[in-house]
Structures are given as C-alpha cells and as structure tokens.
Amino acid sequence: MRHIRSLLFSVFMFIASLSFATEENAHKELIFITSEYCLFCEAWEQDIGLLYHKTTYAKQAPLRRIDIAEVEFELPEIVEDVVGTPTFLMFQNGQEIGRIEGYQSAEMFFWALSEYVNQ
C-alpha cells in the first residue's frame, strides 16, 4: 500500500509540474512559518521538506523558512496576522497572494500549493 501511495504521489507531482508557466511565476516565493515545537511542522519537514527543493514547485516558488516569533520583523507587509504553525505564505513580487494554514498530507499540500503557483 505504501508503494502505491508513493507511486500515486510521484505521478501527481509529474502531472502538476507540466502546467507551470515559468515566466509568470518567476518572482514567487513560498514562506514557511514554523516553530520549534510544532508537530505538524515536523511532519511537513519529514514528508516534504527533504524533497521540496527537487520539485518543480521549488523552481517556481523557492522556499524560505521563518520562525513564528520573527514574522513581524521579517514580513511587515503580510495581509493578516499569522496565528499558528505551520502557515505557508505565497508571495509574488513582494506581496502576499495566498496562504495555506496547517498541514494534513503531502497530497493535500501540493494540491493547495498548485492553486497559487498556477495563478
């Protein structure tokens, strides 16, 4: 069952990568708001963090990690306050264009992320 899930995930990643328009997304950045004691942040790091830099998503929206305690200093221009971790903020040309709050699974994360990368 685990191998089937991995295969389905790989197929999903490949299909999702085919629809990216590189010039349109050239100035996007994914910001991961994390905290040291967040179990869901740890799950994201194990499931995705180790491979994100190898994905097409990373080419379209490079990842930057920020501790929740540093948000107001690092990101004074965000639309709404960050109230929990993990929170993923999608920026384009220095402005927040979307966010993903929480983490359930790799499949759900990449599905939600594709909505912002494909804008």
- Which tens digits make up the pLDDT trace of 38-70? 999 999 999 999 999 999 999 999 999 999 999
Q: What is the mean pLDDT of residues 32-37?
A: 96
Report pTM: 0.77
Token code pair at residue 115: 């909505």
What is the band of 1 on the pLDDT scale with cuts at 50, 70, 90?
A: low
- CA proximity to 63, closest of 73, 54, 53, 71: 53
The rounded distance, in Å, linking the Cα atoms of 31 and 67 is 10
- CA proximity to 33, closest of 69, 73, 3: 69
**Range list of β-strands (E), the chain:** 28-34, 63-67, 87-92, 95-101
